[in-house]
Amino acid sequence: MSGTTGHIDGRIDLELIAEMISPGSRVLDVGCGDGDLLALLQSKKNVDGRGVELSQEGVNSSVTRGLAVVQGDADTDLADYPDDAFDYVILSQTIQATRNPKEVLRAMKRIGRRVVVSFPNFGNWRVRLKLLFDGRMPETQSLGYSWYDTPNIHLCTLLDFAALCDDLGLDIEDAVILTGNKARRISNPGTLANLFASDAVFLLSRRN
């Protein structure tokens, strides 16, 4: 869970997330890595930001940049945060590396009024074709690991993720998919988006 475990162009991902955040809000970045996103959000959106990061190097880099980052694990340490503590809780390219994604999302929903999640899409056509024709675990630009050393233990497709959100009472407020390096806003994750997206960014809110 040390920062970005997917292999997409980090800047695009971060920029897309930043666009979804209202200026001046309170933000928690779970799995904040070196603090790139928090630094971007502070300079661009003037947010009051906090981070959680598993790796010592990530914490040290973040703290050196003046960011308030706590060493911790998304799977266990989100329990330390009170209800409604943040306007946004962000999980960028990390959910697939958590041990219990459902509980992590549930905790994020409790802590933040809105939840932002970005992840690599396992439903992408390249992934499907690799498994179909090569008969081997897919390694793509977004998923650049062998099956035996990947930190990505809970991969999912767009449709899987949407179903989990529905299950948890999280509504999709906004969704952007990446195809190659092109970003496209979608109204709802459908079959085609699930086929073409290499990655996706979701803005979620609690269902009323």
Residues lying near another protein in the complex (CB under 8 A) are found at 26, 50, 56, 59-72, 80-82, 85
Closer to another protein by Cβ: residue 43 or 181: 43
Nearest CA-CA partner of 71 in 58, 54, 57: 54
In the complex, the smallest distance separating the C-beta of residue 115 from another protein, rounded to whole angstroms, is 18
CA distance 23 to 45: 4
CA distance 133 to 138: 10
Closer to another protein by Cβ: residue 70 or 195: 70
In the complex, the smallest distance separating the C-beta of residue 81 from another protein, rounded to whole angstroms, is 5
In the complex, the smallest distance separating the C-beta of residue 67 from another protein, rounded to whole angstroms, is 8
* DSSP 3-state of 40: helix
Nearest CA-CA partner of 164 in 111, 73, 98, 71: 98
Closer to another protein by Cβ: residue 70 or 168: 70
Closer to another protein by Cβ: residue 26 or 126: 26
Closer to another protein by Cβ: residue 60 or 150: 60
In the complex, the smallest distance separating the C-beta of residue 21 from another protein, rounded to whole angstroms, is 18
In angstroms, the first-to-last Cα distance of the chain is 31
Closer to another protein by Cβ: residue 54 or 116: 54
CA distance 93 to 91: 7
Question: How distant, in Å, are the alpha carbons of 80, 113, 170, 196, 204 from that of 161?
Answer: 25, 19, 11, 15, 11
In the complex, the smallest distance separating the C-beta of residue 74 from another protein, rounded to whole angstroms, is 14
CA distance 5 to 16: 17
For residue 172, the number of C-alpha atoms closer than 13 Å in the C-beta half-sphere is 23
In the complex, the smallest distance separating the C-beta of residue 68 from another protein, rounded to whole angstroms, is 4
